[in-house]
Structures are given as structure tokens and as C-alpha cells.
């Protein structure tokens, strides 16, 4: 009888962990979409994937830090990897593996030609 209760308790714990993992993944996907929207890049495959797990202390208590990786494209012809860290359902860190876009590039994504003289003037 006790073995059956332990099995059910273990099964319920596994289901709870799976549901929590799916909630965190949805939060990470929502955050990645927001990051891509503000940067003016396309989130490829509309997905994120768990790529790392750390146990860190926060306010003296151990807390799991989840690393989610995702890929973006600047113009549909390239792929760049980024990742974000989550703890407690919140984004705590971000690494973008793509070049930052200027406001003009974000405003006009079809503008594929870059005037090098104009860009050089802006840098000086």
C-alpha cells in the first residue's frame, strides 16, 4: 500500500515539474519575441530551447537558473544565436549574438544597401 502512495506521489511531482518547465519555456519564448521585436530581428523557428541549468544563491537561498537559447535572422539569409537566463520565472540575463541594428535599419527592414560614406560620417 505504501509503495502505491509513493509511486503516486512521485508521479505527481514529475507532472508538477514538467508543467513548471513548460511555463518557464513559454515565458522565455515570450521574452525572446519581445527582444527580437525591439531589435528588429526575426526569431527563427519561433522557439527557444533549454541549453543550460545552474544552481545559484539568491538572497541566501539556492535557486535554479535556466538558460534558453534561440536563433534570429537579421535579413532572412543569416543565423545568429542568442540566449537568455531565467530565474524564478523572470529574465535575469541576456546575450545577443548578433550585431546591434541602428534605428534606420529597424524602421526600414527592406533597406539592404548600406551607404558606407554616410555611416562613416556618423561615426566621426
Tens of pLDDT along 43-80? 888 889 999 999 988 788 898 899 999 999 888 788 88
pLDDT of residue 101: 57
* pLDDT bracket for residue 7 (50, 70, 90): very high
Q: Answer whether 111's CB lies under 8 Å from 104's CB.
A: yes
What's this model's pTM, rounded to 2 decimal places?
0.71
pLDDT of residue 116: 56
> Residue 6 burial (CB < 10 Å; 0-12/13-18/19+)?
exposed
pLDDT of residue 121: 62
**Domain locations in the chain as residue ranges:** 2-98
Amino acid at each position: 500500500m505504501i509503495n502505491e502512495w509513493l509511486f503516486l506521489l512521485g508521479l505527481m511531482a514529475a507532472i508538477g515539474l514538467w508543467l513548471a518547465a513548460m511555463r518557464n519555456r513559454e515565458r522565455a519564448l515570450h521574452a525572446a519575441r519581445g527582444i527580437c521585436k525591439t531589435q528588429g530581428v526575426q526569431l527563427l523557428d519561433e522557439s527557444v530551447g533549454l541549453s543550460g541549468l545552474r544552481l545559484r544563491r539568491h538572497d541566501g537561498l539556492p535557486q535554479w537558473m535556466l538558460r534558453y537559447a534561440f536563433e534570429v535572422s537579421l535579413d532572412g539569409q543569416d543565423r545568429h544565436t542568442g540566449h537568455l537566463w531565467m530565474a524564478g520565472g523572470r529574465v535575469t540575463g541576456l546575450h545577443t549574438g548578433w550585431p546591434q541594428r541602428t534605428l534606420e535599419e529597424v524602421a526600414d527592414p527592406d533597406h539592404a544597401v548600406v551607404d558606407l560614406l554616410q555611416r562613416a560620417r556618423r561615426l566621426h
